[in-house]
Amino acid sequence: MSKIYNNVINAIGNTPLIKLQTASELTNCTIYGKAEFLNPGGSIKDRAALAIISEAEKKNMLKDKGIIIEGTAGNTGIGLTLIGKAKGYKTIIVMPETQTPEKIDTLKSMGADVRLVAAKPYKDPNNFVKLSRKIAEEMSANTNQSVLWANQFDNNANYLGHYNTTGQEIWSQTKGDLDGFVCSSGTGGTIAGVSKALKEKNNKIKIYLSDPKGSALHNFIKNKELIVEGSSITEGIGSSRITSNFKEALIDDSFSIDDNEAMNILYDLMSKEGLYLGTSSGINVAGAIRLAKELGEGKTIVTVLCDKSDRYHSKIFNKKFLLEKKLPIPPWL
């Protein structure tokens, strides 16, 4: 029976698991994708946004008509803005200009104050995360209103949100009958929260990172070295540093996935199963297939389907862009 909610915030989370048919058949395993794209803001990041806002309210750091400021690849900004509108908070969203116009337009259409900045590495003082902190500090000094720097990368409310919701949901949906969980990491909130929740229930459940090229996390898991190789068109995932959230993750091993592998899987999911997914889902499902092959037949593996293709049309359904990047082109383009 479908549910009735008092407000949109209550519709965050409790997403279904969808069996990924091709990936399951290919590996003789059961591979499920948790349909995070069904969250009201269209992505898994609604959960982090809600956890961060709830924690700040509890600590009296965010009061009526407060202002939330965040550096984000877009999805967290969308989640924060959606919850902000429902609760009466303003949002200032600082984004690298390299993110797709789809996400930027969505945020502007929702009424967020979007500040686009040049893409700079984390060590640069003008990195988007550092700039968002600076704006929050300056604003805080000049207003009587409460100002919250959401700080999704190093605010552990993020992973605790996934520990309390995403991880528990996966455990109860599979009735504890699962052998592995795999996903990519941006802030590390998802993998930290889910891994802690699942390992606490059954320490034998394998947790794998699925890391895009251009990220240092794979080498960190393998050799404890933050070394970056290659690059990726994926957004919102990969990292050059160990965030406070990632530090909490209980990870057994890691796969490094290139865009070719991820994009072929993404186009297959669309054309064979009607799953219209964003770039990180390609990396995640590629990781799930590799984990299934590693663990062997008959196993149950879960990953997360973080958002939808519509946030990335200008890249993943753009023939010119794909040709330039030497990536596979879906045959229907």
* CB-based closest residue to ligand PMP: 236
- Cα angle 251-282-300, degrees, rounded to a multiple of 5: 55
Nearest residue (CB) to ligand PMP, 186 versus 214: 186
Query: Residue 308: phi, psi to the nearest 5?
Result: -110, 165
Q: Determine, following the binding rule CB under 6 A, whether residue 280 of this chain makes contact with ligand PMP.
A: yes
Buried b / exposed e across 89-127, counting CB within 10 Å, b at 16+? Answer: bbbbbbbbeebbebbbebbeebebebeebeeeeeeeeeb
> Is 45 in the active site?
yes
Q: Determine, following the binding rule CB under 6 A, whether residue 189 of this chain makes contact with ligand PMP.
A: yes
One residue of 41, 77, 79, 278 binding ligand PMP per CB under 6 A: 278
One residue of 23, 56, 73, 157 binding ligand PMP per CB under 6 A: 73
**The pairing of beta strand 180-183 with beta strand 147-149:** unpaired
Check if the beta carbon of residue 306 is closer than 8 Å to that of residue 36: yes
One residue of 13, 161, 188, 238 binding ligand PMP per CB under 6 A: 188
Determine the interface stretch with ligand PMP among 18-26, 140-148, 183-191, 295-303 (rule: CB under 6 A): 183-191
Work out the number of other CB atoms within 10 angstroms of the CB of residue 294: 16
The site map against ligand PMP for 200-239 (x = CB under 6 A) is ------------------------------------xx--
The catalytic position among 3, 19, 34, 45 is: 45
CB proximity list for 100: less than 8 A, separation 6 or greater: 74, 235, 311, 312, 313, 314, 315
Nearest residue (CB) to ligand PMP, 93 versus 299: 93
Applying CB under 6 A, the residues found at the interface with ligand PMP are: 43, 45, 73, 75, 184-190, 236-237, 278, 280, 306-307
